[in-house]
Each structure stands twice: as C-alpha cells, then as structure tokens.
Structure 1
Amino acid sequence: MSRRSLLRGAAVGAGAVALPALLTACGSGPGGDGKTITLGSNSSDPVPKKAFADAFAAYEAQSDGRKVKVNTVDHNTFQENINRYLQGKPDDVFMWFAGNRMQFFAEKGLLHDISDNWQGYKGFSAALKAQSTGADGKQYLTPYYYYPWAVFHRKSLFADRGYQAPRTLDEYVALAERMKKDKLDPIAFCDKDGWPAMGTFDYIDMRTNGYEFHKSLMAGEVAWTDKRVREVFDTWRRLLPYCQPGANGRTWQEAANSLQKKEAGMAVLGLPHPGAQFPKGEQGDIDFFPFPEINPEHGQDAVEAPIDGFLLAKKSKNLKNDKSLESAKDLLKWLATGKAEDIYLKSDPNNVAVSDQADISAYSPLQKKAVELVSGAKQISQFLDRDTRPDFSSTVMIPAIQKFISDPDDVDGLVNDIERQKKTIFAAD
C-alpha cells in the first residue's frame, strides 16, 4: 500500500492542555554547551520509552558528538501542565501533538519556527504538512507517527464465541447484549485519566452528525445545546449499560488489561493502548473493527488518527545559543527520516510511521490493517482534546464527560452547563 495515499486530503484539527515545576527542564543552563539537546518526553510507559531511547541512541551514534538528554514525565502530568512548562524553563525539544494543540502554542509565541527544516523534509504528505503548520503559515511540528482509534478485541475470543464484527450500531448493541449473557463486560471502559472516553464521544458524534459538524462543534461555532449534541449523549446513554461500571476510577491500562484477560469483549481505544498491555506472545491476537455506523448518511467515513511529533520550545534558554539551536534542529531533521521511524517502530510496533520513506514491509498484520483503515477514510480527526481549544477540553470537557458517565440522565443540564462555559472561554480572545 502506498504511504503517499495515507492521510491524503485529511482535514484535521487538534487541541492541548496545560506543564509545572516538576516538569523542570534538564538543560545545562543558559546557552547550553551546543552539543547537548534536552528533550521533554511524555512517553512514560515502558514500551514507547524504550523505543524512543533506541531512536535517540541511534541519532547520537550518527551525529557529530551530539547527545540527547531526556526528561521523561508521566504522560498525563505532561499534558495537564504543558502551558506552564512552555512558559517556564522548558527543554529544547519536546514531544507533542499536531493540529490545534500545536497551533494554540504557536499563536502564543511559545514554539520555534522550523520552516527551514521543512524545506528539506521528504516523505511527508501535504496533509501532514498542514497539520504541522500554524495559523501564520509557518511550520512548527516534525510529525513522527500516528495511530487510529477503533473498537479493539481479541481474535481468539471472537472465534471461540462465534462473535462477528458489527457494522451498525444496532449490531453493536446486539453483540454487546450477547457478551453480557456470556458473563463478559461487553465494553471495557475507562476515564480516570480524563481523555479516553473522548474517543467514544467523537465517534458517536461523527457517526451521527458527520465530520463537518464535529469540526464546527470543536471550533465553538455550534451550540452544545443543539439537538444534534443531545442526540450524541442520548446514543451514548444507550451504550453505557454495556460498559464496565466505575469507569471514572479506571485507567486505560486497566481497561486494556481486562481485554487482554478476556474479562471484557471490546474496547474503544487507540492502537498503542491494547498493544502496550498485551504480552509479546499475544500481540497477534489483537484485532479491531471500525466504530459502527449510526447514520447511513455519514457511514464510517471518519477515523480518529492522532498525529504525534516533536517541537522546539521558544523559551528554552539553550536555544538562545545558535549552536544549540542548530543541534536541536539537526535532531528534528533526523527524526523526520524513515530510518528514524523504523528504529522506533522496531521496539514499539503499536503505531504507524508517517513518512513515505519508512519500511512498512516489517509491519504486523495489525499495523497494515491500521494503514488501510486510515488511508481509506474520507475524513480524519485528531481527537476531541486535540481538535478544540486546550483550555476548553481540560477545564470543561473532562469534568463534563466524567459527570455524564456517573450521572447520564440529566443531558439537558449537562449541555447547558457546557455551553455556558464554552461561551466564556471562546469569548476570551
């Protein structure tokens, strides 16, 4: 399959959140030594942490004496404190996300322009470049990988029980009802971290109302009191009886583990999440199907496929030194190569490379299926907390969704509260 077709024509957005004193940069002081690149990492889980260590070690081996000093912070802590981090004493390079999440900080003047790097980048589609571009037309992100969200399950469980992947919502509910009778939790469900359930909201919204509505809603252009939003929550309420109870106290790792242990039948997650929790010998048992159709008008056209990458922090003291800035940009140039992605994916086969130059011959069947899912999509979204303003997603939508999960019956009160807060936040600029 051509990598050039991947993400083609994707009309994606993205969002962010706020990083504190505990995310202190590990730089060597004002100006740095010109050879040491400090890097803020949110990859705290063992599998991606090792994969990035391998990639950075490979960079050091081929560089002219440059070193990468990694500052790894718990993923959720990193996300929740990103704003303070970037305005404080950030590392030179940091891991972050495409679209709105990047654009928001670019507009605040917190990111270094890397348009000169992009002039030499090869293997990235126009859609990827668009997702790496700020409102000012300059590039700020070096994309590294993406991963689709879907409904994951175990092949062996489906084979043993005779389950069939559903295409429509009614078939999905019927399958969940059957799993319930089979003494399974039909849908592994979690939201302790505040973001996992957003994937379910996005899919119900895009399947019900379409991608363009999703974009408008995330941009603050549509009222949350709109009947179409109420319909999303009403549909979700129909699914909640089939979801694991106590989701607000469960992490995504615990939800993925229940899938691995065959305690739950399905889970709406991103590609890396079950992959990171399944032992190596069971990786081949992971499978997925696209989130089911709700409104035939929109079918299964849209796919959530967040893009992660690397950026330069404008307020890094080291980057005031021309040699340090040159070193940081050199690291990004190397990370933009297919070879760099190949090294990472060898240790973490739970993502998909964004570069045309990456070697996809070694992809697992699951990775190949992920490529097919995304390249066949008519629209690609980034994720609720990446497709809207960071302050809105973190201060309004996280508590709103958690409140809905614990008390799904007051939809009117919920959407009225979201809309009231949205008006205040979106009017702030």
Structure 2
Amino acid sequence: MIMRPAQLPTSAITRRSLLLGGAGLGGSFLLSGCIGGGSTPSTSSSGSASGGASTGVALTLQSDLSDPKPKAALESVVKGYTNNPVTLNTVATEQFRAQLSTYLTSANPPDVITWLAGSVARDYASKGLLLDVSDMWTGDGACAKFSPALKALSTGDDGKQIFVPTSYYWWSIFYRKSAFEEWGVKPVTSWDDFMGMLDTLKGKGVYPLTCGTGSTAWMASGWFDYLDLRINGAQFHRELLAGKHSFDSAEVRKVMDTYATLIPYFDPKGRSYSVQEAALPLANKKAAMYLIGAFVTTYFPSNMQDDIDFFSVPTIDPSIPSAEEAPTDGFFASSKTKNPAATKDFLSYLASPVQQQAYIQGSGSSNLPTSSEVDTSKFSPLVQHGIKLLSETKEITQFFNRDSSDALQTTADTALTKFLDHPDQVASILKDWQTAAQQVWNQ
C-alpha cells in the first residue's frame, strides 16, 4: 500500500520488513507490465539444469517466507518444478532464524534453505555446512550470467560460491526532481560538489538531508556504511564488520570525521522521526535528500511517483572501487544433501529468469531480479535506473546487520545515535563501540 505522507504511521514499517525488502516498491509500482506483452509467466521447470541430474529424488525446501503472498508465490513456483518431488516447509521468520543453525547441523538437514547473502552464509560455509555451487557460476550454469558483484557477494572465504541470489534492491540518495529544479541544483558525483550542494540548499532555507533515526535507530548505519565504502572500500568494510579491524581505528575515525561534516545539514527533527516519518519533509519539499532503500517510494502518493529519482553517494576517494548497498535474498543448500546433482538442479530452476519473474509477480516483492534475462522493459524508469546502478557497480554489500549480525547492529545503533547527538565525543564513542563489538565477536 502506498502511504500518503500526511498519514504516515510510526509503526507501519519494522526493522525486519526493511532489511528483508518487505516494505518494497509495491506490487503496482514495480510490477505493472512486468511481463512483456501481458503474458503470464510460466511455472514449468523451464530453466532447470536437468542435464545429468537425478530424477525422482525427494528434496526438501525450508522457507521463512511465511507472509501470505510470498508464501503462495513460492508454493506456486515449487509446484511447477517437475524433475523431482519437493516438500516445502514454511516456518515463521523468527522461529526460522532461531532454528537455522539446528537445520544445518542436524543429521538430516533440509536440502535447500531460503536465506540472505552476507556474513551469516559465509560463516556457515566456513564450517563446512553449505554445498559448493561454484559450477552453477561457470559455463552455462544458472548463475553464470549474474554480475561479478553478485558473484563476489555469493562467495565464501575460500573462494567457492555457496549462495544463489535471486532478488535484491538498492540504496541511494533519493530526491524529488521538481524540487531540485526549483532550487537550481543537480545530482553530483564528487564529494566536494556534494558538500557545495548542501551549502547551496541550506542557504535557500531547505534542510539538505533527512534521516529517521528516532524509533528506527539503525537508519544511522546507512551513512556509516556508505562513508566506509567510499573511504576505505568494500573489503575493509566487510572485514571491519567481521571483527578483523577495530571500530576504534584511524580508518573508522576518518569515516566518523566525514560523517560529522554532514550533521549540520540534517533536519534536526530527524532524531525523533521514524524511517517513514522522515520522508514527510522530503515530500513537502522541506528537505532535499534522503539516503534510504528504494522502498521509500511507498511512502509517497501515486501522483509523486514520477517525481522521485536518486543518485549514488558521491565518490570521496577515486582510487576506491565503486560499491553499493543492495540487500540480496536467495537460497543456499546443505553440504549434507543426499543428492547434490538434484539439489543443484532445483537451485538452477529457482534461479532461472522465468521463475524469478514468476515469484516477483506472484509475491508483489519489491526486489529486483538478479538475472539480466528477466524482461524489465516495462519496469518504471526509476527501477530501470536502479538495475543499471547495480549492474555497473564493482562491489555489492548488504546493510550493516546483514554483513555482520543483529547483535552487532545493536552496538552500531547505540554508538551512532550518540554520535549524532554528541559528535564532539567521537573518541570515547568509538572506544565504547569497539568494546561492545568485541563482546559480540567473542560470543
């Protein structure tokens, strides 16, 4: 449902729905005309890698897609797979998360499991619990045409691919085109030009930036993630969140010093806004820009949809490869599966363009397909812009807690919201952050 800004409720979006893309772009916005020529996507086993795969092998898919529409969409996709019988078990999200480790370490684990790209998948892979699906990423494999950034995101610490991504969405700096025209500003690509634009907007009596860090404190991590990506790069960022670097380090201090330069440009009410409420000043042209996921479009009425656009967080150090936050969903498989060939055949089916398209349409998902062969010709210009952004970036990261853990996210919430209120205390904040983070890593 698209909310009108004047009616934005404070509880309409949860942390879970944000990080898993549940708020989304809305079925009518993202999926209108999604299937070329108005045709209905096939749910046959088209796209499966049946060559050499065993048939008649019973498989199990464990899913946390328990909301009615995603659940029904996945059921429909699974029903269309005819090479082998598949039992689909759907478990409520929180129960699923609590039991995930048990699934993988049991004597008879599910063959395929829904999950997210990021640190948790890599951690399970490092323990030998996930099936090596590297052959799906080469030759004529189902993932061979996915972008290099998606391949890197799906790769374990040993260089093997252990994840099959099937959908994702993007973060960027969103704005209203008509507002930029009124204020005489344009999207920029360099940090110096960005800071100059912030000064220009502030001089016009506009809050250059909005950010809802009140009841949704994790929103403060958006700017932290991007500044770290632009200053230290994606590899450092992942290593930092994995405990290989200290939050109380010169590299992170540089990130925070840069973050501090943005604080005077934020709408001060943002410290009391939720993620959704912070869209109100953007809609009313009281604020100019919002660093957020593409789901922000659902916060605006339909007559504003064509007025929304975005640009990437500008480059700070040109020597650092480009990187974008793109929370990514998909599947991994148990290394204990009794028939790897049949399991990979099913994964190939799930990853095929036909089934990605069928699931997106059936679920009303906000996410974009990972396959470049999905027909996107009827997607909105904004979504096409998002696809182009993600296809051209060198690296894809997730969001703070996806690249680390929910427990580490809590340490970030505490540190970053305190920093927004007291940037002069950055030294002690970073020291405390590292202490809290170390406790999480030592658990």
The TM-score normalised by the length of structure 1 is: 0.71
Report the counterpart of residue 421 of structure 2 in structure 1. Answer: 406
Cα-to-partner distance string for 1:13-63 (whole Å, 9 max, x where unaligned): xxx9xxxxxxxxxxxxxxxxx798552138x6xxxx746644543443565
Amino acid at match of 1:367: V
Secondary structure class of the residue paired with 2:330: strand
Report the counterpart of residue 291 of structure 1 in structure 2. Answer: 313
Q: Residue 86 of structure 1 is aligned with which of 100, 104, 110?
A: 100
Q: Tell me the CA shift for residue 203 of structure 1.
A: 1.6
Cα-to-partner distance string for 1:340-365 (whole Å, 9 max, x where unaligned): 22234447584332123322323322
Q: Tell me the CA shift for residue 252 of structure 1.
A: 2.5
Secondary structure class of the residue paired with 1:385: coil
Structure 1: give runs of 5+ residues left out of the alignment: 1-15, 17-33
Change (3 A) 1:294 1:95: same
Mapping of 1:210-229 within 5 angstroms?
210-229=233-252
Q: Residue 338 of structure 1 is aligned with which of 353, 361, 375?
A: 353
Secondary structure class of the residue paired with 1:371: helix
Change (3 A) 1:225 1:237: same
Amino acid at match of 1:245: P
Change (3 A) 1:186 1:102: same
Q: Tell me the CA shift for residue 71 of structure 1.
A: 4.4
* 8 Å CA contact retained: 1:253, 1:277: yes
* 8 Å CA contact retained: 2:70, 2:365: no
Secondary structure class of the residue paired with 1:266: strand
* 8 Å CA contact retained: 1:144, 1:353: yes
Structure 2: give runs of 5+ residues left out of the alignment: 1-15, 17-57
Report the counterpart of residue 359 of structure 1 in structure 2. Answer: 375
Q: Residue 186 of structure 2 is aligned with which of 150, 154, 164?
A: 164
Amino acid at match of 1:255: A
Q: Tell me the CA shift for residue 201 of structure 1.
A: 0.7
Instruction: Give the distance between the partners of 1:168 and 1:124, measured in 2 at CA.
Output: 29
Report the counterpart of residue 23 of structure 1 in structure 2. Answer: none
Alignment length, in residue pairs? 376
Report the counterpart of residue 328 of structure 2 in structure 1. Answer: 307
2:278 is aligned with 1:255 = yes
Cα-to-partner distance string for 1:240-295 (whole Å, 9 max, x where unaligned): 22223354554333334553454432111122x21333345543322111112334
Mapping of 1:258-273 within 5 angstroms?
258-271=281-294, 273=295
Mapping of 1:365-404 within 5 angstroms?
365-387=381-403, 389-390=404-405, 393-404=408-419
Identity %: 33
* 8 Å CA contact retained: 1:349, 1:367: no
Amino acid at match of 1:85: Q
Instruction: Give the distance between the partners of 1:263 and 1:383, measured in 2 at CA.
Output: 27
Secondary structure class of the residue paired with 2:218: coil
Q: Tell me the CA shift for residue 198 of structure 1.
A: 1.7
* 8 Å CA contact retained: 1:110, 1:313: yes
Q: Residue 231 of structure 2 is aligned with which of 182, 186, 208?
A: 208
Secondary structure class of the residue paired with 1:41: coil
Instruction: Give the distance between the partners of 2:124 and 2:216, measured in 1 at CA.
Output: 23
Q: Tell me the CA shift for residue 337 of structure 1.
A: 0.9
Instruction: Give the distance between the partners of 1:295 and 1:130, measured in 2 at CA.
Output: 22
Secondary structure class of the residue paired with 2:423: coil
Amino acid at match of 1:147: Y
Change (3 A) 1:160 1:72: farther
Report the counterpart of residue 41 of structure 1 in structure 2. Answer: 65
* 8 Å CA contact retained: 2:408, 2:437: no
Amino acid at match of 1:98: A
Report the counterpart of residue 24 of structure 2 in structure 1. Answer: none
Report the counterpart of residue 20 of structure 1 in structure 2. Answer: none
Instruction: Give the distance between the partners of 1:51 and 1:182, measured in 2 at CA.
Output: 45
Change (3 A) 1:156 1:297: same
Change (3 A) 1:391 1:282: closer
Change (3 A) 1:124 1:206: closer
Pick which of 141-150 and 99-108 moved more. 99-108
* 8 Å CA contact retained: 2:168, 2:328: yes
Q: Residue 102 of structure 1 is aligned with which of 97, 107, 121?
A: 121
